Amino acid sequence: MRETRPTVHVSFDGVEHEAFVGESVLECARRCGVTIPSLCFLEGLTVWGGCRICVVEVAEDHRLRPACATQVAADMEIKTETPRLRAYRKSILELLFAEGNHVCAVCVSNGNCELQDMAVFCGMDHVRYDSQAPPREVDSSHPKYVFDQNRCILCTRCVRVCDEIEGAHVWDISHRGEHAEVITELNRPWGESLSCTWCGKCVAVCPTGALSYQGRAIGEMEHDPAMIKRLAVARNRGEWLDPGVMT
């Protein structure tokens, strides 16, 4: 059935497209086949706008806008790929790498990591900033899963999926700024959590090796963030669909 929502015209890098009123720049771009990189955004979850990888330029506005949290407007001229954007995205990635302890060669998600893929996509081949090498811990107390703080980029996908899809709200953010960290059950070891349902959605959506299954060796962890889109669509439609149908 054809969509009947009102539309406006926007342009991505000079090419005109039709956008639905109310949708975000990122949603519109993906629907139209325009590539805008993103990290914390995940279809099916609320928008967080934290990572700033999806920034775009909008004509006559000196500020960069996060595409995931910016609604389309009539005649909006959007630039998704400029030297300035490339430089910002690269810097953001370098800061993410410098802030945590990301050692791809010995990571469970090596080869299956959105952060790693993003570095490749953005051409980030080295980090100009000194590594902060923060002393962070590994929580391996859960019988099925492992949480390695060293690899966390605070995208909050785990926090959102646990709250919004599973309804358990095991995860939260504690502290602020450079001390911010993801915690489980008001900072108790994950294995002692009474609210965790062991559903594994947080592990499925994690973009890095921060959340993984127990017993996985280097490069053996594969996440499945698309699973959340299937669940969210099914729930929004009030029906349960064959996961193979919704991709």
Partner 1 sequence: MSKTVTIDPVTRIEGHAKITIGLDEAGKVDTARFSVTEFRGFEEFCKGRLVWEMPSLTARTCGICPVSHLLASAKAGDVIMGLRIPPTAVKLRRLVNLGQIIQSHALSFFHLSSPDLLLGWDADPAVRNVFGLMGAEPELARRGIRLRSFGQSVIEAIAGRKVHSPGIVPGGIANPMTAETRDWMLVGLDAAQQTAEEALELFISMLGKFEREARAFGTFPSLHLGLANDAGTWENYDGHLRFVDSEGNVVADHIDVADYREYIGEASRHDSYLKSPYFKPLVEDSDDVFKGVYRVGPLARLNVCQTMGAARADEALQAYRETVGGTANSSFFYHYARLIEILASTELARDLLNDDAILDPMVRATAGINHRRAVGTSEAPRGTLFHEYQVDASGLLENVNMIIATGQNNLAMNETVLQIAQEWIDGHDIPEPVLNRVEAGIRAFDPCLSCSTHAIGKMPMEVSLLDHEGAELDGVRRG
Task: Compute the least distance from the CB of residue 192 to partner 1, in Å.
Answer: 11
Beta-bridged to residue 77, according to DSSP, are 11
Which of 158-183 are b and which e, b meaning 16 or more Cβ less than 10 Å from the residue's Cβ?
bbbbbbbbbebebbbeeeeeeeebbb
Q: Are 211 and 117 in contact (CB under 8 A)?
A: no
Task: Compute the least distance from the CB of residue 161 to partner 1, in Å.
Answer: 24
Contact call for residue 192 and partner 1 (CB under 8 A): no
Residue 55 to residue 72: CA distance in whole angstroms: 14
Return the number of the residue (74 or 106) whose C-beta is nearest partner 1: 106
Site residues (CB under 8 A) for partner 1, limited to 70-99: none
Contact call for residue 106 and partner 1 (CB under 8 A): yes
Number of residues that bind partner 1 (CB under 8 A): 19
Task: Compute the least distance from the CB of residue 100 to partner 1, in Å.
Answer: 15
Site residues (CB under 8 A) for partner 1, limited to 217-246: 217-220
Task: Compute the least distance from the CB of residue 125 to partner 1, in Å.
Answer: 20
Residue 164 to residue 202: CA distance in whole angstroms: 11
Would you tell me how many other CB atoms lie within 10 Å of the CB of residue 63? Answer: 7
Closest CA to 115 of 186, 12, 27, 221: 221
Residues contributing to the site for partner 1 (CB under 8 A):
105-106, 108, 110, 137-141, 143, 146, 191, 214-220
